[in-house]
Structure 1
Amino acid sequence: MPRALLVGGTRFIGRHTVAELLAHDYHVTTFTRGESEDPFADTEGVDNYQGDRNDRAALEAARDAVDPDIVVDFVGLFPEQVATATEVFADVDAYVFVSSGSTYGEQPIPMREDETPLCECTPEQATDESMASYGPRKAECDREVFAAADRGVHAMSVRPMLVYGPHDYTERTDYWLHRLAEYDRVLVPGDGDSLLHRAYVEDVARALRIVAERGDPGEAYNVADREATTLSGWLDLAADELVTEVDLVYASERELAANDRSPGDFPLFTDEPMLVSTGKLAALGWDSTPLAAAYETTVAEHLDSDRDGTDLGPSRDAEETVIEALGSVESDYDGGVSSGPSRSG
């Protein structure tokens, strides 16, 4: 039975990756500090090794105890961490680093692994803990992966776009699902055409396994839904799964500003399209889950959870203030006041 060691692995993407690996007959060990609840505490075929990933000796002890065939690194946030991990796990069959679509320094459509430049990373950014340096830090982590591959390590990178699905502790998707489930009218920034490529979490987990088994050293692989949707298109599909009727009320940047709001106040909004090519991953035999099936499980788990994401966007009172202001104005020009058609499931 092949053995997998997951650095991290008990929260969102890791949780689904454990299930994916179990389904393919791996024995799985998660390496964590033991500070979060372990959903696999009583699961056959899953062990937990406690330690701090910043402690090289702890990583070496876990390596020696588990003797893994593959390692998946979920919590590498700084280049120094990845440099150490690729040294410690230099002899495994595959080391897969969980990177991010945020590594790209430019945003052509689509972003391609072997063509689109990565973010530059200054020495200060390499150790900075703020989200402002997240993309540059992840890009530098990828460079550590590539350098390790040049040394003969079977190291690869997987770059998910915005990940959604069951057990998403970020609550970015929950914000919108809660709005759709609770209200008849929902405020949407812009014209609803915000295009941020998403990745269903089970597809990310499958990508990590496939890359570990079939990927080439020194390569990076984008992962995202094979069918991209705009924000309003995503809301349409989610409303269908919720079996509800919702009017989407669109507000331009100027109209939001008149009410002390901006498009950036809303989760999952981007003012520039962000799309990646997934052909390189598909060539390994990967495919994504049909959107209807992905949204079905996402919505069902949301309804069973207590997450609502309300802290991530405008309050409902603020939202209603803008909706009421838009309702008092009549305009026919493009990008002006508009209320979307009724979405029924």
Structure 2
Amino acid sequence: MDTALVIGGTRFIGRHLVSELRDHDYDVTIFNRGNHDNPFEETEGVAHYEGDRSNETALEQAKREVEPDAVFDCVAYQPREVRAATEIFSDADAYVYISSGDAYGNEEIPKREGETELRPCTMEQATDDSGETYGNRKAEGDRAIRAAADRGVNAYSVRPCIVYGPHDYTERLDYWIDRVANYDRVVVPGDGDNVWHRAYVEDVASALRVVAEEGTPGESYNVGDRRVVTIDEMLKLIADALDSAEPRSADTSSGQGPRDTDLEIVHAGERELAAADLASDDFVLYRDYPHVLDTDKLADLGWDSTPLSEAMATTVEEHLDSDRDGSEYDPGREAEERVLGVLDTL
């Protein structure tokens, strides 16, 4: 395969995917509405075709213009979009759909492709656009991939867990990096052993390419870090990465003041959190029940994940150069200080 069409391609996963494909000598065309800055505007071997992926005529025109060997669908959020794309690109060497670990309906450890039941999806859920039905819609997209493969389409699905890394516009991990960078004591709900499997974005990008080149049509492939860490271990990785990061001048106005990576993690139970009108789910990336994906099936194709220290170092470096702080998820430092005060009296 030599040519690729990336539906999306300028924000997060798609951005890293384009770089991955160029590193492996693909000629790449990005297909999107042009609503975001194109980081590849001056990059040789990367073209841009403007259009709305929900417009099937625009997708058909892009197919005629590009004639891609491989199609990577980063922004299919409704099952009808997957069904339409698998029809339009039915003669491609590969159509790879980004699904989600949230497609799984059963709480199993670990969640395995072909074994763990997927979420159901009603007709109403299939056309919804709320966060509550995200996993249902992704699961139905996976079923559309299987149906397309049964018709002879080279269609594949990749299911990432929580994705982190440079240019993450969700800012979920940015919240925790900002906390560790700016405070000596960081409040963590529970006992610190919470596990919510994460996937480094560059590894997700390489997984998409590997599945297109080596996968079996109709199959789904989980992707996540090959070593799963607890929330405490994640914070220690962040602290180590901050300690190794290039020195930067203090700038409290930007939220990146002097940092002390002598991290003290303070665990708070529901009673202590309630004293400040907080609950464990007020803290992003906290999950009561472990969420772990089996990644052996993907590894059998020759894929591997980046060492965690290297992945976090790159993530932290880019965070420090950005203006992201994850404040959308901030439960409030004053509330956390009240929690700390309660714990200090025990």
Which TM-score applies when normalising by structure 2? 0.94
2:321 counterpart (304, 311, 324): 304
Report the equivalent of 1:291: 308
Report the equivalent of 1:255: 272
Report the equivalent of 2:339: 322
Report the equivalent of 1:109: 109
| CA-CA distance at 1:311 after TM superposition | 1.7
Report the equivalent of 1:162: 162
Amino acid at match of 1:249: V
Structure 1 CA distance for aligned equivalents of residues 177 and 262 of structure 2: 13
Q: How does 1:194-213 map to 2 (within 5 A)?
A: 194-213=194-213
| CA-CA distance at 1:310 after TM superposition | 1.4
Report the equivalent of 1:333: none
Structure 2 CA distance for aligned equivalents of residues 309 and 76 of structure 1: 25
Report the equivalent of 1:122: 122
Q: How does 1:129-208 map to 2 (within 5 A)?
A: 129-208=129-208
Structure 2 CA distance for aligned equivalents of residues 311 and 130 of structure 1: 18
Tell me the secondary structure at the aligned position of residue 287 of structure 1.
Answer: coil
2:295 counterpart (278, 281, 285): 278
Tell me the secondary structure at the aligned position of residue 156 of structure 2.
Answer: strand
Structure 1 CA distance for aligned equivalents of residues 334 and 67 of structure 2: 55
Q: How does 1:203-242 map to 2 (within 5 A)?
A: 203-242=203-242
Residues 25-62 of structure 1, C-alpha deviations (whole Å, 9 max, x = no match): 00000100011111111111100100001110000000
Tell me the secondary structure at the aligned position of residue 47 of structure 2.
Answer: strand
Amino acid at match of 2:288: D
Report the equivalent of 2:95: 95
Structure 1 CA distance for aligned equivalents of residues 104 and 188 of structure 2: 27
Structure 2 CA distance for aligned equivalents of residues 126 and 305 of structure 1: 36
Amino acid at match of 2:268: A
Structure 1 CA distance for aligned equivalents of residues 185 and 275 of structure 2: 20
| CA-CA distance at 1:192 after TM superposition | 0.8
Structure 2 CA distance for aligned equivalents of residues 42 and 250 of structure 1: 48
Structure 1 CA distance for aligned equivalents of residues 118 and 215 of structure 2: 20
Amino acid at match of 1:222: N
Q: Where has structure 1 moved over 4 Å in runs of 4 or more?
A: none
Tell me the secondary structure at the aligned position of residue 108 of structure 1.
Answer: coil
Report the equivalent of 1:86: 86
Structure 1 CA distance for aligned equivalents of residues 241 and 10 of structure 2: 27
RMSD of Structure 2 on Structure 1 (CA): 0.8
Structure 2: runs of 5 or more not aligned: 244-260
Report the equivalent of 2:28: 28
Structure 1 CA distance for aligned equivalents of residues 147 and 227 of structure 2: 33
Tell me the secondary structure at the aligned position of residue 221 of structure 2.
Answer: strand
Structure 1 CA distance for aligned equivalents of residues 89 and 335 of structure 2: 51
Report the equivalent of 2:251: none
Structure 1 CA distance for aligned equivalents of residues 334 and 276 of structure 2: 12
| CA-CA distance at 1:73 after TM superposition | 0.2
CA contact 2:276–2:336 (8 Å) conserved in 1:
no
| CA-CA distance at 1:96 after TM superposition | 0.2
| CA-CA distance at 1:107 after TM superposition | 1.7
Residues 121-176 of structure 1, C-alpha deviations (whole Å, 9 max, x = no match): 11111111110000001000111111100100000000000000111010000000
Tell me the secondary structure at the aligned position of residue 136 of structure 2.
Answer: helix
Structure 2 CA distance for aligned equivalents of residues 12 and 319 of structure 1: 31
| CA-CA distance at 1:313 after TM superposition | 2.6
Q: Is 1:43 matched up with 2:37?
A: no
Structure 1: runs of 5 or more not aligned: 331-345
Report the equivalent of 1:336: none
Structure 2 CA distance for aligned equivalents of residues 66 and 307 of structure 1: 35
| CA-CA distance at 1:258 after TM superposition | 2.4
Residues 163-208 of structure 1, C-alpha deviations (whole Å, 9 max, x = no match): 0011101000000000000111111111111100000001000000
Structure 1 CA distance for aligned equivalents of residues 143 and 303 of structure 2: 24
Amino acid at match of 1:61: Q
Tell me the secondary structure at the aligned position of residue 141 of structure 1.
Answer: helix
2:283 counterpart (256, 266, 275): 266
CA contact 2:275–2:338 (8 Å) conserved in 1:
no
